[in-house]
């Protein structure tokens, strides 16, 4: 605690008093909270605060901290301050958004309960809007987790570097996707040497929690006179017949991953490519429909949840009824 005392004295010019919280006071707290933090009484500027030093910084969850601090405040009748050796600028912003007191020695002291916010000069990450949509890679991981829930080895059993291999993403892309899911408080990361994703909800809860953050996988729609490859997944209304009573549409729709599409376009393998009409409509997807598909045959359809997201803005009553059946079958 010497480092904490020295930091506070250095920036405030005031010598704080730090003592461990007595055991009889800690007895008022749930065991899972006392297992998560070390507790100290901090006397600062004639105010007593509870300093909660997090034991496992690897699994820091802003959502959990905010909830737990409210429990601690009610039990001990004191305001609570998070103590951590290192929190990213990204997570500091999220703590500030929630009004959570925290001290990171040498970095920042944020005590809104005492109207104090003193920090180092550091370059923050670009501020993101909380309501923005998930990255396509993050959406892909979330949908895969829901759709492939019955796989013998679920994706939360793969270390992140193996998950990158499985999904054919770079390690950096997987890391960014998981950070995005963490930012929206849909998952945490566990493990020390090897990192594993852990979703905070079961599959149906995850869908309803995340649905407002999900977007259509379709980047654009184009038309060609011939199907360019033998194996492509049916999509749009051409695929809805698989999941509902709707008849297959006359227009053929197929999904193709964007990098594959641009490769075929560059090599002149798309006959009469245009954005108006053709025998085949190609839906260019932001992520790979092959990996996400629940069935793999030559006549397979795209996965039902991406199909739902690609058509959810439709105002056709038949399509709306068909989409309801998808949710009934795969979410409820």
Residue 170's domain comprises: 136-213
pLDDT given for residue 298 in this prediction: 60
pLDDT given for residue 117 in this prediction: 61
In a domain, 128, yes or no: no
Q: Tell me the DSSP string of 277-330.
A: --SEEEEEESS-HHHH-S--STT-B--HHHHHHHHTT---HHHHHHHHHHHHHH
In a domain, 187, yes or no: yes
pLDDT given for residue 136 in this prediction: 93
Final residue in a domain of this structure, among 181, 213, 245 = 213
Q: How many residues does the structure list for the chain?
A: 332
Residues 297 and 270 reside in one and the same domain: yes
pLDDT given for residue 332 in this prediction: 62
Give the integer Cα–Cα distance in Å for 182 and 179. Answer: 5
What lies within 8 Å, CB to CB, of 150 at 6+ separation is none
- How far are the Cα atoms of 159, 173, 322 from residue 168, in angstroms, in the given order? 14, 10, 32
Listed as ranges, residues in the chain with pLDDT below 50 are 121-129
Give the integer Cα–Cα distance in Å for 40 and 90. Answer: 26
Q: Tell me the DSSP string of 164-180.
A: HHHHT--HHHHHHHHHH
Rounded to the nearest 5°, which phi and psi values hold at 53? -90, 115
Residues 289 and 247 reside in one and the same domain: yes
> Which residues are paired to 51 by β-bridges?
40, 81
pLDDT given for residue 290 in this prediction: 92
In a domain, 124, yes or no: no
Domain count, the chain: 3
In a domain, 294, yes or no: yes
In a domain, 127, yes or no: no
In a domain, 131, yes or no: no
Q: How many CB atoms lie within 10 A of CB 281?
A: 19
In a domain, 315, yes or no: yes
pLDDT given for residue 192 in this prediction: 83
Question: The domain that contains 69 carries what CATH number?
Answer: 3.40.1350
Tokens of 121: 């000069």
Final residue in a domain of this structure, among 152, 184, 213 = 213
pLDDT given for residue 296 in this prediction: 65
Residues 228 and 316 reside in one and the same domain: yes
- CA 285 vs. chain centroid, Å, equals 20
> Which residues are paired to 109 by β-bridges?
103, 118
In a domain, 304, yes or no: yes
Residues 197 and 260 reside in one and the same domain: no
Residues 106 and 143 reside in one and the same domain: no
Residues 21 and 46 reside in one and the same domain: yes
């Amino acid at each position: 605690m010497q480092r904490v005392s020295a930091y506070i004295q250095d920036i405030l010019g005031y010598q704080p008093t730090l003592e461990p919280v007595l055991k009889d006071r800690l007895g008022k707290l749930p065991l899972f909270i006392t297992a998560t933090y070390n507790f100290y009484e901090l006397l600062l500027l004639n105010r007593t605060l509870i300093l909660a030093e997090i034991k496992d910084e690897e699994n820091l969850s802003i959502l959990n901290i905010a909830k737990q601090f409210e429990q601690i405040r009610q039990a001990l009748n004191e305001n609570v301050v998070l103590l951590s050796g290192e929190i990213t600028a990204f997570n500091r912003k999220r703590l500030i958004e929630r009004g959570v007191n925290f001290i990171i020695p040498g970095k920042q002291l944020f005590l809104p309960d005492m109207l104090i916010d003193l920090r180092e000069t550091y370059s923050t990450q670009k501020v993101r809007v909380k309501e923005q949509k998930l990255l396509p890679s993050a959406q892909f991981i979330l949908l895969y987790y829901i759709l492939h829930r019955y796989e013998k080895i679920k994706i939360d059993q793969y270390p992140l570097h193996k998950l990158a291999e499985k999904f054919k993403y770079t390690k950096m892309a997987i890391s960014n996707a998981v950070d995005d899911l963490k930012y929206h408080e849909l998952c945490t990361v566990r493990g020390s040497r090897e990192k594993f994703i852990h979703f905070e909800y079961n599959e149906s809860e995850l869908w309803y929690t995340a649905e407002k953050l999900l977007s259509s996988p379709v980047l654009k729609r184009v038309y060609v006179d011939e199907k360019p490859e033998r194996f492509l997944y049916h999509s749009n209304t051409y695929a809805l017949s698989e999941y509902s009573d709707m008849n297959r549409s006359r227009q053929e729709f197929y999904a193709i991953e964007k990098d594959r599409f641009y490769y075929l376009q560059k090599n002149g393998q798309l006959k009469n490519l245009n954005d108006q009409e053709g025998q085949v409509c190609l839906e260019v997807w932001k992520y790979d429909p092959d990996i996400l598909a629940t069935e793999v045959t030559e006549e397979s359809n795209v996965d039902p949840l991406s199909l739902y997201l690609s058509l959810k803005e439709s105002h056709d009553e038949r399509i709306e009824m068909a989409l309801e059946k998808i949710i009934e079958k795969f979410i409820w």
